[in-house]
Chains A and B, each alone.
Chain A
Amino acid sequence: MAGNKDDILRGTLDLLVLKTLDTLGPLHGYGIARRIEQVSEDLLHLNQGTLYPALLRLEQRGWIRSRWGTSDNHRRARYYSLTRSGRRQLAQEAESWQRMAGMIGRVLQGVEE
């Protein structure tokens, strides 16, 4: 299964974007990129440009929507916000991540013992 790793990364990025918009409300792309860099402590070495195809993908699925607005320094910017189905998706994803993380944690503990 080639691309498995990519899939995982992509899923992770999706989750991070959704979580960011859930926490901070509407944000432009730059803001999202900054936030992800901060919270992931550069763990995910993000090429900021790759964010935009991901945003488009999420928008196509109907999880986020975008609208042109004005940024703090009076620049035109595109603001992304979470939709209702995006919120639902985030909840689902978060739960499955947690379940997965818990399982992996248990497995790893088992290995250590």
Chain B
Amino acid sequence: MSWLRTFVSRVSGMFRKASRERDLDEELRAHLELLTEENVRQGMPPAEARYAAVRAFGGVEQAKASYREQRGLPLIETLVHDLRCGLRQLGRSPVFAGVALGTLAIGIGANTAIFSVVYAVLLKPLPFRDPGQLVRVFEANDRAGLSGDACSYLEFQDWHRLNHAFSGMAAVQAHELTLTGRGDATVVRVGDVTADFFSVLGVAPAAGRAFLPSDDQPGGAPVAVISDDLWRDRFGADPALIGQSIDLDKRSFTVVGVLPRTFRFSFFEQGPSRQVWIPIVQDPFFGASAQMPTVHFFTAIARLKPGVSESQGRADLNALGAQLWPRYRPGDHGWSIRTASLRKAVTGDASAPLLLLLAAVGLVFLIACANVANLMLARATSRAREFAVRAALGAGRTRILRQLLTESAVLGLVGAAVGVAVAYWGVQALSGLLPPSLPRAESIRVDGTVLAFALALSIAAISLFGLTPALFASDPRLHSTLQKSAGRGGEGRGRQRARDLLVTAEVALAMVLLVGASSLIRSFAALIAVSPGFETRKILKAEVPLPRFLYSTPQQWIAFSDDVLARIQASPGLEDTAQALPLPLADRRLNMAFSIVNGPPLPPGRIDTADYVSISPNYFHVLGIPLLRGRTFAPRDAMSTPRVAIISREFARLHFPHSDPLGRQLIFGFPPETNTKREIVGVVGDVRDAALSQTPGPMMYVPFDQAPFWGIGLVVKTSSSATAAREIAAKVHQVDRDLPVTDIQWMSEAVNASVSQPRLRASLLGVFGAVALTLAAAGIFGVISYSVSRRTHEFGIRMAMGASESEVMRLVLNEALRLALSGVAVGIVLALGLTRLIASLLFGVRATDPSTIVMLPVLVTFAALLAAYVPARRATKVDPLVALRHE
């Protein structure tokens, strides 16, 4: 065990160095004095005695050096020494350190922040047991171009019962119900699930129990599991709640469990986060429709058996589908059962824009590294003499390399630390900007994985910017450096070329980023410039859901709507009002199948659909949607009169291209009016109801009085902005003071919110583009400054020979221009190759727009010249006398 003892004492030998050094000094001095005295005793004169003693002792410093080596751990001590040395070097040139650290912090910070979003949304495993085994099961029909994600409850039960590949399967669908009892009535998100839902996910409730198979039986006792925040907000985290009952739409449910605080099922994150989960069969509204084979609104999730792959699971389901289709979709062909990993289903289409951001920020990182590498190269050149001296004093090549790398490492790690702080701040800032539709946004944070990423990034940075200068700096021709006259230590051609190459690369990468950013920004501008087809200014919207236990008949819904509309219309501050469900650009849309009476026969499997809206007569007037033909709805269109409909221009274009739609009949409607004929009485302008970026699809409108809903969506025209919202709520509460008024918002804000994703993309990419341009300009500035300082002598001679200031200026600017133009050229070629990748994210513009291809190079070149101007001016101020005196 003596090696362990040695190690311990060596480690401790690295500390308390000063006192150990004093001891050593004293011991050796005592030794020498004793030896000298002995020599004197033997008759030597004192001076000679001392000399003889020193000779007999050998080199005092050598003894000390080998003593120190024995005392501590030389490898670690060298490292510590290099680290200290590196920190000192950084402190000695604060401008260099500041610029390099700032650049690195931005590069690493921005990447870490974006990565934390990408990681949380795309990469982090879902917070369920063995999430890799979880899939979503859905139906699709390629022949009809349908990828309907929902199945009927009866189909689901067959899948559940007959499959061989899955250890569990559950169905889920969500809607909203009114919770009453213990305080005000409130709207909660209700998840209708089958009993296996939580066990398939592998989630155990924090208190109480989850559902049992017996809960799925019709006629069983109604039970509910509630979310943690509902339990806390509404019930004050009362542990005695379990076993008590709550009311959903006046149906009583016994609470049997509370879910863990972290539980999120991101499919249904829109709407209130306060959730109640109940068995499908117990749902006061949908429970009955669960038994209907034509009601397709359940999402199926399933867990693969251990060792079964997703494709095996799919094959199993397809075999099953072959047996079942004749029963569930008789006469319909082309249907198949598909699966997708649950993670992909949750992530949806969020991945392309996020990966674009990650790629963009990756380019910023590369530019930052190139910039720092350039700074390091310049520094290494100006420190050539220092290294030559070190080499002359006996430092080996590896020792110098190690010192350089350690300095780079110090820079990289300090940069990473600052970068993590930047990222932390960036994540805070980002989470305020993220669109609410981004899935799993709640799990974005700077955690261990993200920190590991930052560390990996800084190591990558260190090897990128640290190695290049290190390799150049350990030039074997060190002695030649020493021989050169002071000050203008020569720079090899190779190093010069490396610096130019780095800057060219920076400019090229910045160019790529700018092309991407400008495409997205122009695309966003085009998006918000597009007319949604309706008036958005001075329009306030609000929704009022009606609890169905109080308002159970269509007559009640119509009476409520009429009452509220009349009261608002009569209010002096509110100008004009109407109502519609669903409202345009709201988060839901009703796409409904229809058929045309005496229309052309459709190929089998094809179904025509259009967006369905139920409106009050005044709706088109309030929203300024033009009536193109026929008439709008009138109060006379009621339950007792023949059914009527109004179609959009796109509907008419698609389905009545050569004939007059007015007077024709359509068949569509909600149960029980699915087979009702409705006469087309008018054609109105198109509306972008799904998203600003989507060209308007066919739409069909029906009068609310003929097709009422249990709730209303108000649109109110008003100029009195401040009080209007309160006034609307007051009018609703005059009718029924217990009703919640939700989603009160200006229509213009709603339009803005609907483009929050492209806005965020465009602004982030814009910021990255600006950062990239700044970094590239800084790179040009660095290279030109350095080149000017190196050519001081040359400029002096030129000016002494009669060159004018503008000629010298031109000489310097030409150098910058050459770098910028080659970077721009390479950048454009790269950008053109990469534009295909972002084509899917663009709206109304093309990345290869000629204005982009002309404007950006001009911008970049101008920035480069601007950056070169300062050093160029310095070059013109060179005093020939001073420059020549250097010689």
**Are A and B subunits of one complex?**
yes
Interface size on B, residues (CB 8 A): 30
Contacts of B5 in A (CB 8 A): 60-62
Contacts of B56 in A (CB 8 A): 48
Alpha-carbon separation in the docked complex, A71 to B13 (Å): 26
| Closest beta carbon of chain B to A47's beta carbon, Å | 3
The one of A49, A57, A61, A75 that contacts B62, using a Cβ cutoff of 8 Å: A49
Question: Which chain B residue lies CB-closest to A57?
Answer: B70
Contacts of A52 in B (CB 8 A): 24, 27-28, 63, 67
- Of residues 26 to 68 in B, which have CB atoms within 8 Å of A's CB atoms? 26-28, 30-31, 33-35, 37-38, 56-60, 62-63, 66-67
User: In the complex where A29-B27, A78-B23 touch, is A49 in contact with B6 (Cβ < 8 A)?
Assistant: no
Contact (Cβ within 8 A) A28 B6: no
User: In the complex where A28-B30, A30-B35, A62-B5 touch, is A56 in contact with B67 (Cβ < 8 A)?
Assistant: yes
Q: Which of A47, A56, A62 has the most CB of B within 10 A?
A: A56
Contacts of B66 in A (CB 8 A): 50, 53
Quick check: is B294 within 8 A (CB to CB) of the other chain?
Answer: no
The one of B10, B30, B35, B37 that contacts A60, using a Cβ cutoff of 8 Å: B10
Contact (Cβ within 8 A) B59 A49: yes
Contacts of B38 in A (CB 8 A): 34
Contact (Cβ within 8 A) A78 B27: yes
Q: Which of A30, A49, A57 has the most CB of B within 10 A?
A: A49
Contacts of B24 in A (CB 8 A): 52
Q: Which of A28, A53, A62, A73 has the most CB of B within 10 A?
A: A53
The one of B2, B10, B33, B58 that contacts A50, using a Cβ cutoff of 8 Å: B58
- Of residues 81 to 99 in A, which have CB atoms within 8 Å of B's CB atoms? none
Contact (Cβ within 8 A) B30 A76: yes
Quick check: is A77 within 8 A (CB to CB) of the other chain?
Answer: yes
Contacts of A62 in B (CB 8 A): 2, 5
Contact (Cβ within 8 A) B2 A61: yes
Quick check: is A17 within 8 A (CB to CB) of the other chain?
Answer: no
Alpha-carbon separation in the docked complex, A79 to B504 (Å): 68
Contact (Cβ within 8 A) A60 B6: yes
Contact (Cβ within 8 A) A47 B2: no
Contact (Cβ within 8 A) A48 B67: no
Quick check: is A16 within 8 A (CB to CB) of the other chain?
Answer: no
Chief secondary structure at chain B's binding surface: helix
Quick check: is A18 within 8 A (CB to CB) of the other chain?
Answer: no
Q: How large is the interface on A (under 10, 10 to 19, 20 to 34, 35 or more residues)?
A: 20 to 34
| Closest beta carbon of chain A to B381's beta carbon, Å | 38
Contact (Cβ within 8 A) B31 A48: yes
Q: Which of B26, B31, B35 has the most CB of A within 10 A?
A: B31
Contact (Cβ within 8 A) A49 B27: no
Chief secondary structure at chain A's binding surface: helix
User: In the complex where A29-B31, A76-B26, A77-B30 touch, is A56 in contact with B63 (Cβ < 8 A)?
Assistant: no
Question: Which chain B residue lies CB-closest to A62?
Answer: B5
| Closest beta carbon of chain B to A81's beta carbon, Å | 15
Contact (Cβ within 8 A) B62 A60: no
Contacts of A30 in B (CB 8 A): 30-31, 34-35
Quick check: is B71 within 8 A (CB to CB) of the other chain?
Answer: yes
Contacts of A64 in B (CB 8 A): none
Contact (Cβ within 8 A) A33 B9: no
Q: Which of B26, B33, B70 has the most CB of A within 10 A?
A: B70
| Closest beta carbon of chain A to B31's beta carbon, Å | 5
| Closest beta carbon of chain A to B464's beta carbon, Å | 38
Q: Mark B8-26, 1 if CB is under 8 A from A, else 0.
A: 0110010000000001101
| Closest beta carbon of chain B to A93's beta carbon, Å | 13
Alpha-carbon separation in the docked complex, A49 to B37 (Å): 17
Contacts of B27 in A (CB 8 A): 28-29, 52, 77-78
Alpha-carbon separation in the docked complex, A50 to B57 (Å): 8
Contacts of A47 in B (CB 8 A): 57-58, 63
The contact sample of 10 A-B pairs, CB cut-off 8 A, is A30-B30, A49-B59, A50-B58, A50-B63, A53-B66, A57-B70, A61-B5, A73-B37, A75-B33, A76-B26
In the A-B complex, list the 4 residue pairs whose CB atoms are closest, starting with the nearest.
Answer: A49-B63, A47-B58, A49-B58, A30-B34
Known: A29-B30, A52-B27, A71-B34. 11 other contacts (CB 8 A): A28-B27, A30-B30, A47-B63, A49-B57, A49-B59, A52-B24, A53-B67, A60-B9, A61-B2, A73-B37, A78-B23
